Chain A
């Protein structure tokens, strides 16, 4: 029983970061109508640059801030160099563009960071915490804390500030927002930048638990897509729920079957969700951007 509880808690812990990254997918999709294939690469870049700075001897908070900064700049550049010049293109061309951006980023990461995994120690030392017989390494709490803080900040931004309101307006009705003087191109830039920041935070807090290498972008992206799709690509609550579900499936698969089949099962989960309810598990509405 304590085994089950351990798997559940670790699953929920990693799941919070998948939720965070999934929120980025949902946000970009809402504002631009594009599924951003490079979302997982934000996680990869955030994690790798954090670990590399930490390995180089920088204090961890500085390393984390630098990693966050680098990743958000990459997100903004991705939007400015790849998405904005093609804004008249139809959606499938935009999606293929993000696929191109994703493999470019993976290649660049291989050149910059090499093919090996990079490591960072847990944010705080100390023994794992005992909860009802289960033992939970402290880093999982950092994952959950980072997610809660990021989600609250995001919520405040979206509901309490003018740019946040403008972004929600663009998500609801791009044409109406444009008539109100909101620039969809600028909102798209904002969405990509914020999504990159969310991805980076996920990558940074996960680094001590899952040492990243340059190839983790696609698997991370897929987990984030799964989280977002479970929420119907539109609901932040759904994305959080989806992320937690992915984390749990992964933890149970690793614990009860074998870590070899961990990825196979999570990839199967997305396929299953898409086949059964492509518009999300949570709500009945099937109105999706064509």
Chain B
């Protein structure tokens, strides 16, 4: 290839990069394309299956609420799995015992989770500081212990036999159908949360994370803002929980465990807490890693159990936070921006 052709290719690549960095609709379109390609790829690549794809999309929805809450408002929640479970169990109970319409059950689960979060948020944000992480830790442990003990939730046995979803008459049968449904929900959720972060409310939220004092001085109710971000995070996790319940047809107390909440925090942190893309990127990276370690670790260390996975999770979280504070997603975007600037700089010198 001649130098001219190379330079032309480089220029067009840079302009595409610029366009992607500038236009959010282009980014949504690319995301839609990636989501649509997943079934074609996952059915052909080893150890990715469609059920892994569904799990990734569900976890991405559950982690998405942490972007505004943790990445912007600066509050950590260890209760995401609890809201996931509250809504999942609500869906399970309403559809198996009282044969409620699945969509109504889902709305009920989300409403219940959001109401609980709103109430907890109203009280907890009266004080400044990292109290949410403590409150959600105890709340999360409480919900997981109760799910294990109450006769209503089937105690340790959980609730089996949750019917599959049938939106608008289409019965969701199989992982591919479920994947398209969950991916669509994820796409809509990403666009909505992104729009929210761009709105004046979102700007206030970002300001709040940077300086609570300055934000309060600007006349914004920081307690109200934090409460609303927490409620949104709970509602999104609840949505994911109900989807999960109908997909797996089974809810068990393990879903409410504190490690599940930690995993969602890891997903948002590794993906990048500041941008909505952090949730899907993080879900892809973390679940790929966890699936890979399930198949690979026993080959390397025959007597290994799941314990190695926890150790590597913890270390990965620490290393990413120390060396890549904006996460994998944030790191990639930073790299793209720097690349585009470097090429532009070179062009500018060439013109001179």
Contact = CB atoms under 8 A, between A and B. Distances in A.
A27 to B, nearest CB: 16
Nearest to A114: B307
A92 B141 CA distance: 21
Interface stretch (B102-110, B129-137, B248-256, B330-338): B129-137
B146 A111 contact: no
A108 B321 contact: no
A219 B258 CA distance: 11
A111 B124 contact: no
Nearest to A106: B310
A128 interface: no
B149 A264 contact: yes
Given A97-B321, A279-B127, A289-B129, A271 B135 contact: yes
A107 B310 contact: yes
B128 A100 contact: no
B94 interface: no
A222 B141 contact: yes
Interface string A86-118: 100111110111011111111110110000000
Interface centre among A35, A89, A274, A275 (most CB of B within 10 A): A274
Interface in A45-99: 82, 85-86, 89-93, 95-97, 99
Contact of B311 (A89, A104, A263): A104
A16 B322 CA distance: 36
A106 B262 CA distance: 13
Contacts of B129: 278, 288-290
A288 B213 contact: no
A233 B138 CA distance: 16
B318 A100 contact: yes
Contact of B265 (A96, A274, A288): A96
Given A261-B149, A278-B126, A107 B213 contact: no
Given A92-B70, A278-B131, A286-B127, A271 B310 contact: no
A35 B305 CA distance: 31
A274 B134 CA distance: 8
Contacts of A289: 128-129
Interface string A184-223: 0000000000000000000000000000000000110010
Contact of B314 (A92, A103, A268): A103
B260 interface: no
A89 B124 CA distance: 24
Given A99-B265, A267-B138, A92 B308 contact: no
Contact of B262 (A86, A103, A278): A103
Nearest to B123: A275
A225 interface: yes
A101 B318 contact: yes
Interface string A252-265: 00000000110110
A89 B98 CA distance: 50
Nearest to B120: A275
A218 B135 contact: no
A23 interface: no
Interface string B135-149: 101110110011001
B315 interface: yes
Contacts of B70: 92
Contact of B128 (A96, A99, A107, A288): A288
A92 B134 CA distance: 12
A101 B314 contact: yes
Interface string B101-125: 0000000000000000000100110
B317 interface: yes
Contacts of B76: 92, 95-96, 99
Interface string A266-290: 0110110011101100000010111
16 contacts: A91-B130, A92-B74, A96-B321, A97-B317, A97-B322, A104-B311, A106-B314, A218-B258, A219-B141, A222-B141, A229-B131, A229-B134, A260-B149, A264-B142, A264-B146, A268-B142
Given A96-B321, A225-B138, A289-B128, 16 more contacts: A35-B134, A92-B75, A95-B130, A97-B318, A103-B314, A107-B309, A107-B311, A218-B141, A263-B141, A264-B142, A264-B146, A264-B149, A268-B138, A274-B123, A274-B124, A275-B124
